[in-house]
Amino acid sequence: MNPLLSLAGQRAVVTGVAGFIGSHLAAALIRAGAAVIGIDRRSPHHDHAAATNLAALLDAPNFTYVTADLRTEPLDQHVRDVDVVYHLAAIPGVRPSWGTRFEDYTACNILATQRIMHAATQLRVPRVVVASSSSVYGSTDGSPSRESDPPRPSSPYGVTKLAAEQLCLAHAARGDSPTTAVALRYFSVYGPRQRPDMFIQRALTATLTGRPLLLFGHGHRRRDFTFVDDVVAATIAAGAARTPSTVLNVGAGVGASLRNVLDIIHQLVDRPTPVEVVSDHAGDVDATLADTTSAQHLLNWHPTVTLTEGITQQLRSLDPTVSILTTNNNTSLAPFTQPAI
> Which residue stretch of 27-35, 138-146, 184-192, 233-241 sits at the interface with ligand NAD (rule: CB under 6 A)?
184-192
Residue 20 vs 137, nearer CB to ligand NAD: 20
CB-CB contact of 31 with 25 (8 Å): no
The SS3 of residue 249 is strand
The answer to whether residue 127 forms part of the interface with ligand NAD (CB under 6 A) is: no
What own/partner pairs with CB < 8 Å and gap ≥ 24 does 316-321 have?
317/191, 317/192, 317/193, 318/192, 318/201, 318/204, 318/205, 318/208, 319/208
| Contact string 20-49 vs ligand NAD (x = CB under 6 A) | xxx-----------------xxx-------
Residue 63 vs 186, nearer CB to ligand NAD: 186
The SS3 of residue 314 is helix
The SS3 of residue 215 is strand
Residue 161 vs 221, nearer CB to ligand NAD: 161
- Spatial distance between the Cα atoms of 237 and 1, rounded to a whole number of angstroms: 8
- Spatial distance between the Cα atoms of 242 and 236, rounded to a whole number of angstroms: 12
> Which residue stretch of 17-25, 208-216, 305-313, 314-322 sits at the interface with ligand NAD (rule: CB under 6 A)?
17-25
Minimum CB separation of residue 105 from ligand NAD in Å reads 9
Residue 22 vs 138, nearer CB to ligand NAD: 22
Q: Which residue is nearest to ligand NAD (CB)?
A: 19
If we measure between CA atoms, which residue out of 33, 115, 39 comes closest to residue 72?
A: 115
The answer to whether residue 290 forms part of the interface with ligand NAD (CB under 6 A) is: no
The answer to whether residue 233 forms part of the interface with ligand NAD (CB under 6 A) is: no
CB-CB contact of 275 with 212 (8 Å): yes
| Contact string 53-82 vs ligand NAD (x = CB under 6 A) | ----------------xxx-----------
- Contact with ligand NAD (CB under 6 A) among 63, 65, 186, 227: 186
Phi-psi region of 285 (alpha: psi -120 to 50; beta: other; left: phi over 0): beta
CB-CB contact of 186 with 132 (8 Å): yes
Give strand pairing partners of 209: none
> Which residue stretch of 11-19, 239-247, 261-269, 301-309 sits at the interface with ligand NAD (rule: CB under 6 A)?
11-19
Residue 40 vs 180, nearer CB to ligand NAD: 40
If we measure between CA atoms, which residue out of 237, 137, 241 comes closest to residue 187?
A: 137
- Spatial distance between the Cα atoms of 156 and 162, rounded to a whole number of angstroms: 10
- Kindly list the residues in this chain that would bind ligand NAD in the complex (CB under 6 A): 16, 18-22, 40-42, 69-71, 88-92, 108, 112, 131, 133, 161, 186, 188-189, 195
